[in-house]
Amino acid sequence: MKKKSLYFWGATFISAVAFSFASCSQEDDFIIDSGLDIDSQVPLTRADGGDRPNQIPKVDNQCGTYAATKVAMNKGVELETGQKNKDGSPKKAKVGSCNYPASRYYHEFNNIHESRTWDYCDNKGNKIEGAGTYTGASDHMYPSALRAIGKETGVLEGGYEYFETYEELVSRLSSSSFKEKHPAGTYIIHNPRDGDGAGHFSVGRGVTKDGKIKTEDALGYPKYSKDDDANNPKAKKGWTVLY
């Protein structure tokens, strides 16, 4: 009987150790492959049954915040957690890890947008003199604001490119110079035709052989095609790429 009791407690101890490794730890970001191709990354769920640290909130009309968070995770961006290392230096963790969940970045991104006023900008992302300013809203975001917040938080470089037509966009995304600097999953595309007139942000993932742009977003839209350039004759024109 005593022997059985020892076996029981030994098995319990081993299970507890295994649990501690399966749950969130300070150094584990639950990404098997550190490559940028999100399809090759296999996220693990938390053992306590809570939300996964790499789970991004999906809220209506907040596609820009979702896209920025996804890019932060794809790029392995590390941000300060608010804690300190033993030497007193700020502790950092990857967005989407246990010490910096995706939801935290998502909400902080929204807080920045909604707590400030922003300039109205033209198609090139430049301030329109005399146009005034607006206060950020949870259900609408302009590309210029997303670029500014992305750059401030270390997720985007601050790049802003506008294309009048779908063909111009495909040509740029297909070029070797763009692909070398901006791998799949590290840039954001804004299509002003979607989103009931407010536009739609999605993460760009390259171009297929038949000229379709692969995307990733909260809605599950897998790609854009030439048809998206003229779905609505009255719709806004142009495309914007942020990186």
Tell me the three state secondary structure of residue 238. coil
Tell me the three state secondary structure of residue 16. helix
For residue 243, the one-letter residue type is Y
Residues 37-63: tens digit of each pLDDT: 333 333 333 333 347 999 999 999 999
Which range among 9-18, 34-43, 171-180 shows the weakest confidence by mean pLDDT?
Answer: 34-43
CB-based contact 217:202 (threshold 8 Å): yes
Looking at the whole model, is its pTM more than 0.85? no
Which range among 22-26, 33-37, 239-243 shows the weakest confidence by mean pLDDT?
Answer: 33-37
- pLDDT exceeding 70 applies to what percent of the chain? 74
User: Which helix or strand (DSSP H or E) is residue 11 part of?
Assistant: helix 2-22
Tell me the three state secondary structure of residue 176. helix
Is 110 exposed, middle or buried (CB count within 10 Å of its CB: 0-12, 13-18, 19+)?
buried
For residue 197, the one-letter residue type is G
Give the confidence band of 221 by pLDDT, cuts at 50, 70, 90.
Answer: confident
CB-facing half-sphere around the CA of 46: CA atoms within 13 A: 16
**Where do the domains of the chain lie?**
38-242
Return the CA Rg of the chain.
21
In the numeric block, which tokens belong to residue 84?
A: 């300190």
Q: Is the pLDDT of residue 242 over 90?
A: yes
Task: Return d(Cα 53, Cα 31) in angstroms, integer.
Answer: 11
